[in-house]
A and B are shown apart, each in its own frame.
Chain A
């Protein structure tokens, strides 16, 4: 996930100082991302170089204020509108299965069992997170993420059950 688009999104709303940007970005992610300042600041420098963001001259104090440019706004819109490439086999467990089959790994059964357990644990974690967020305002987007996560995990489980069946466990 790109810090770049997070910064551009926040600057689309109003100009900000560096440190402000970092904090706002972290809050936007419900503090689930801890960003190192260097990463944020070097991204800002790159955005300035690419003319997506510019410095505002600020007489009152020395802190540099950044604002988005017309190109920057267009870049965010383009990013939001373009579909993301659908990549399979990014999941390490997919790849593990591939390798285990190749090696005729005799603990495939156990491997699937443990992965299933890990997935179910994550599902229960999401359940608690959902409970927590249901009582707080402005968490709608995060609830969408949780539901999305649950659906992905559901698919993972079904897939593992399918392999178990096919392997005759």
Chain B
């Protein structure tokens, strides 16, 4: 699904060059839910933006479903993004003069889809993310958690194969954040989505199946859950922990 080879990215700031991503290699299979963690400035957002075609690498290769987005012209790139990738951001990035419905259906209008189909899909997705009754609200009339649900709905409306989420729970308290994570986790399971989520919060990452740590522009650690059903002793360990 995602193949990254020898990816490098640097920024020039006055006379100095900062190597932000230094030889990243990464493969993500279809249906994985991956968290990307690492200290501030380690290049997490830069990596996500390059994967989503919002930024370009200095060198190396990024394939999404075997397509090298960097090789597409701007028009094709925009189209590819709209049809394949859903973005979720920490600050929701909703349009404030549009209602919940309008924000969610936005990507569909760009594609000139039949009005009845749009209405039906928007209604379904609003149900799925738990925003029934809020269709006519403006973003300013919603809580942070609800605004993030709108942005998740918008990310999903085109049935993308890949969701790129940059600190989706970063502005939410733990309780609201957990609700958003459960929503993502259910969507992941029910729709076979591939999700890449950048987060600072290991608790948020505990909702994913694989955790990647970035450090100084490279992959420091890549941990997957190995065997299911290897839970013997686990609870005994927790009990000891809680008791110590």
Contacts and interface: CB of A to CB of B under 8 A. Distances in A.
Given A120-B221, A146-B238, A153-B202, A127 B207 contact: yes
A153 B237 CA distance: 11
B146 to A, nearest CB: 23
Nearest to A152: B241
Given A113-B221, A120-B221, A148-B238, A125 B230 contact: yes
B243 interface: yes
Chain B contact patch, size range: 20 to 34
B234 interface: yes
Interface residues of A, number: 36
Interface string B208-225: 111100000000010111
Given A149-B241, A154-B203, A157-B202, A120 B223 contact: yes
Interface string A103-122: 00000000001001100111
B224 A32 contact: no
Given A32-B236, A125-B230, A116 B205 contact: no
Contact of A87 (B203, B230, B235, B244): B244
A123 B211 CA distance: 10
Q: Majority SS of interface residues in chain A?
A: helix
A1 B210 CA distance: 32
Nearest to A33: B236
A127 to B, nearest CB: 5
A98 to B, nearest CB: 16
Contact of A122 (B237, B240, B242, B244): B237
Interface of A: 1, 29-30, 32-33, 84, 87, 90-91, 113, 116-117, 120-130, 132, 142, 145-146, 148-154, 157, 161
Given A116-B221, A123-B205, 7 more contacts: A32-B233, A32-B234, A33-B236, A120-B202, A127-B225, A142-B235, A152-B242
